[in-house]
Structure 1
Amino acid sequence: MPKLPYDYIVVGGGTAGCPLAATLSKKFRVLLLERGGSPYGNNNISRLENFSFNLADSTPTSPAQRFLSTDGVFNHRARVLGGSTCINVGFYSRAQPSFVRNAGWDEALVNESYKWVEDKICSEGWTLGVVPYNGYTYEHINGTKFGGSIFDNNGFRHTAADLLAAGNPPNLHVFIHAYVQKIVFDTKGTKPKVIGVIFIDENSNRHEAFIKADERSEVILTSSAIGTPQLLLLSGVGPEEDLRKMNIPVILNNEHVGKDMADNPSTNIPIPTPEPQKQTLAQVVGITTEGFYIETISGFGQNNDSIVTVKNGNMSELKEVFRGGSIYEKIIGPLSKGNLSLVNTNVTSNPAVTFNYFAEPEDLRRCVAAVSLVLEIAKTRPVKDLNANINLIPKSGNETKSLPEFCKRSVTTMWHYHGGCIVGKVVDRDYKVIGIGNLRVGDSSLFVESPGTNPQATVLMLGRMMGVTMIRERLRAG
């Protein structure tokens, strides 16, 4: 267990945490704490054909921890070294250029950081015999395209955990099954500053880890849009009134912690076919200018015994008989916002999360437009040639009235939720927590919208970019 203090403690060994810790360890002593276990040796993680198994696994050790939002939609959060890269569909596509500009990032460093990730864990995926309009590219371009994948051509998944091999082993300590319960503060000065963390191991033994006693050492939270605001609240950083209700000592009153939560509402149209289809996750994406994206999956089920089905807020594990695929639409940058709050002071419990799907009329308008397009796609000859028996919901004679209701009733997630620690409200432009010393955030809780068609590439890049930036700043300072 930790004895000497570290230059950096990274809390959360996920999509951003692994590349961040690996990068920082090239120059500094780093401790990476991950609440879940190892992804290695788990075929439900590494094999494409087993993708749905983790989502159906409700055991306490599952790499995918379920949570039910107050909206009634089931969702998941990662609980494994490598984070969501271990349980997602693997699709890799960079953020839209406007996202990078709005974030104020150095575009050259962004591109270098994307390339660093891509060279290590990405591949071009598989060709389907049909060439999309924009061909194959990692770039975010309007139209249809093949994106990249962290699954290789043999259907083997490469995860953020693999990026730890790029670190400096003597400087990098990685603890799994290390559940951080609380951030430790020194409150004697003019403002509170972080000195370490308290965590428990898989045997419920309590441990403390500390950073060095200087202004440059930091604890960095990379525990996702759920785990990071939750840990801040549990540690006494958040809305004072809410903290006092939980009998949590207030370190800093910040009403914005856990606010501005959002999830991109999604709907899918099943395309059942009489013959099994080639098994694919998201490979082709349609990037529109109308405020939504289109993606497809196919072939899931013929080799699987179970699949998770989410509909109207209910989850069941069913024998898979579906041989075709699905066409999905996802709303870009939803205007509807929600919040996250504690239900108790147990860090292993899920907090209460509300996304307020379609609270803003514009989100519903875009869903109607997206579903209308999906229905038109389902009527095209390539789909008809599959002899698909498509259930074109809704069946009402007046789609103008039925589609909005269909969007509301069929809303589901693509697991791209974000927010809770927004820049300018919870953290500054360098992602340091406002009003707190030696504490920084580096994950999707920073985002006001989900980058690109799928956020994985950008969150991986963020970890690498933050690490390089922090090293450069520290070396310049001497």
Structure 2
Amino acid sequence: MVPGNPNQQTTYRLLPTAPNLDTAASMSSPDILIVGAGSAGCTLAHLLHHQYGYSVTLIEPGAAENPEIVAATEIDHTRPARWLKLLGTSSDWNYATEASQSLAGRSLNCPRGRGVGGSSRINAMIWFSPTDDDFNMFSTAAADDRWSTASLRSAYQAAERLVQPESARWISEPAERFLQAATPFGTPVAYRRMNRNGRRWSPAALIADSSGVQTIRASVDRILFRDDQAVGVKLTNGDEIAAGKRVILSAGSIASPAILMRSGIGPRDLLRDAGAQAWLDAAEVGQHLQDHLVMPVVFSTSAAARFDLNVSPRDLVRFDALGRGPLASNIAEAGGLFASDTLQIHVTPTHYLRFPQPGAPAAMTIAVNPTKPKSRGQLAIRSLDASEPPRIDLRYLTDPADVETTIAGVKLARSIAAQSPLQNWIGPEMVPGAKRDSDQTIAKSISRYAQTLYHPVGTCGLGRVVDADLSVIGTRRLSIVDASVFPEMTVGNPNAMVITLATWFANQLAGAC
């Protein structure tokens, strides 16, 4: 039985031995050891040190170490419009999903940020406020008064003050026209962004030049325990680092469960298949993996409306001086929730499937996704080798309801495109193509063209793997704070909720340590 949730059944069986910390116990250790320097890890490190006075060590693998590579990608890390150029680089772990019959046999890229800042280094910077349904989801899963919607909303407000999201400083003509055309169907918005003065910003800035937060550039092999108490970590190079008070996993929905499994915590049979021995038989680790799957509906536009990363000298000066103009675009400029919050739309001034490839045609995309997908996948390690990517089986569209909702989204996108001022401005529908107008042909197009929105969550869910303290059930002094603890997918983009969780947890931990 999961503590704090009498309705949730799971299996947690303590097996004979946990790996013990040996040499690191005598080392000078920080109060808090955080594994992963993404949105959650950087926020936690900042708050725990600067607000609550703890000594903190962050562990995060480096991205590009070659100075020439760093210099070549610097503009991509600062100019919002170039974020897609970061995918597939040394700032990306370059994961891929398992091939799926529901996606016409395709395997999708599964970008995850590498280096301080984590996935906020390479994302579209959308700041999407959690909804009341999101807060209620966490409250229900925790079954604890500390997780009230009022408490979470207060944590969100504090997170927003920390991030200072910025209103769009420039949006394209396709986005402007969409905002008018979509009004009869909902409340479209130009997305706020994690930018400062028009330039991309990530929580990595919160720990820059912080003497009280040490950052170690390394990969973690596993958590080290004394009995069931987490006391440190072992790095892939063999070094061990101790923690004075607590180890926190903030490595994300892919890496956090993988580290748990390499540490002997996970489904016993899956670990055995990977050559690992479970000392804590935790059946839910790696389960309930979810993601937002988006279907692009692409329309041609005139050549004059083409969005191009090769901007004019005037626009370059405009961005450098004011943080405005096309380079301030985050590509996914506008959208919002529609159809009673069952659908989210993202609008880009590009061909969603081909930009920023050379020769991408002039186009705009109205991309649609179910906000609360019902399909569930699974993550598992292949071996004890930390350098081997885990098996990421998202099982997209395996629940028929997700297909039905996405079909409804395609029809909604077409209805919006038929409204003024879009109707007479766009050209023919390129994807999936107007001739694909039956539910059956739209469903086939979805299986062929749908893409990840880079939002994996749920592999260490609240009430399943972690309790209301965000402590790993069956252990002591080991917590998880990242998107892996989401009970289900948030309605919209999850990054704001991740930072909200980190803010909430820092306050709770300060009162408990």
Q: Assess same fold via TM > 0.5.
A: yes
Q: Flag structure 1 segments of 5+ consecutive residues without an equivalent.
A: 136-140, 301-306, 311-316
- CA gap of 1:174–1:401, structure 2 versus 1, over 3 A, is same
Could you tell me how far 1:449 is from its partner in structure 2? Answer: 2.5
Which of 222, 244, 250 does residue 182 from structure 1 map onto? Answer: 222
Contact (CA 8 Å) 1:14, 1:85: kept in 2 or not?
Answer: yes
Q: In the alignment, does 2:91 pair up with 1:62?
A: yes
Q: Deviations over 1:25-75 (max 9, x none)?
A: 132111111123389962222211321211143xxx333523233332222
Counterpart for residue 370 of structure 2: 331
Could you tell me how far 1:269 is from its partner in structure 2? Answer: 1.5
Q: In the alignment, does 2:279 pair up with 1:247?
A: no
Amino acid at match of 1:174: T
TM score, norm. by length of structure 2? 0.78
Q: Deviations over 1:140-193 (max 9, x none)?
A: x96222331013453x1010101225x9x44321122x1011111112xxxx11
Amino acid at match of 2:226: D
Q: Deviations over 1:223-277 (max 9, x none)?
A: 1100000110111101112222333232201111111111122100123322224
- CA gap of 1:390–1:246, structure 2 versus 1, over 3 A, is closer
Question: Percent of aligned positions with the same letter in both sequences?
Answer: 23
Distance 2:500 2:450 in 1: 29
Contact (CA 8 Å) 1:81, 1:161: kept in 2 or not?
Answer: yes
Contact (CA 8 Å) 1:92, 1:457: kept in 2 or not?
Answer: yes
TM score, norm. by length of structure 1? 0.84
Distance 2:81 2:178 in 1: 24
Counterpart for residue 193 of structure 1: 229
Distance 1:268 1:113 in 2: 34
* Aligned-CA RMSD value: 2.7
Distance 1:131 1:272 in 2: 14
Q: Flag structure 2 segments of 5+ consecutive residues without an equivalent.
A: 1-23, 101-106, 140-146, 308-325
Counterpart for residue 98 of structure 1: 133
Contact (CA 8 Å) 2:343, 2:371: kept in 1 or not?
Answer: yes
Counterpart for residue 143 of structure 1: 187
Q: In the alignment, does 2:323 pair up with 1:284?
A: no
Q: In the alignment, does 2:346 pair up with 1:295?
A: yes
Distance 1:224 1:378 in 2: 37
Q: In the alignment, does 2:240 pair up with 1:208?
A: yes
Contact (CA 8 Å) 2:94, 2:111: kept in 1 or not?
Answer: yes
Greater shift, 40-49 or 360-369, is seen at 40-49
Q: Deviations over 1:197-243 (max 9, x none)?
A: 0114xxxx43211012xxxx211111110000011011110111222
Amino acid at match of 1:80: G
Distance 2:178 2:413 in 1: 19
**SS of residue in 1 equivalent to 2:448:** helix
- Whose helix proportion is higher, 1 or 2? 2
Q: In the alignment, does 2:161 pair up with 1:119?
A: yes
Which of 148, 167, 171 does residue 212 from structure 2 map onto? Answer: 171
Contact (CA 8 Å) 1:18, 1:463: kept in 2 or not?
Answer: no
Amino acid at match of 2:221: Q
Which of 479, 482, 491 does residue 440 from structure 1 map onto? Answer: 479
Which of 8, 12, 31 does residue 7 from structure 1 map onto? Answer: 31
Query: Where in structure 2 are the equivalents of 1:35-434 lying within 5 Å?
Result: 35-37=61-63, 42-57=74-89, 61-71=90-100, 72-104=107-139, 105-121=147-163, 122-126=165-169, 128=171, 132=179, 143-154=187-198, 156-165=199-208, 169-176=210-217, 178-187=218-227, 192-200=228-236, 205-212=237-244, 217-273=245-301, 274-275=303-304, 276-277=306-307, 279-288=329-338, 289=340, 291-298=342-349, 309=354, 318-391=357-430, 393-396=432-435, 399-434=438-473
Contact (CA 8 Å) 1:185, 1:195: kept in 2 or not?
Answer: yes
Contact (CA 8 Å) 1:36, 1:63: kept in 2 or not?
Answer: no
Q: Deviations over 1:276-321 (max 9, x none)?
A: 2455422322312162111111258xxxxxx9759xxxxxx84243
**SS of residue in 1 equivalent to 2:124:** coil
Q: In the alignment, does 2:45 pair up with 1:16?
A: no
The count of residues paired between Structure 1 and Structure 2 equals: 436
Amino acid at match of 2:284: H
Distance 1:149 1:75 in 2: 22
Distance 2:88 2:255 in 1: 21
**SS of residue in 1 equivalent to 2:112:** strand
**SS of residue in 2 equivalent to 1:269:** strand
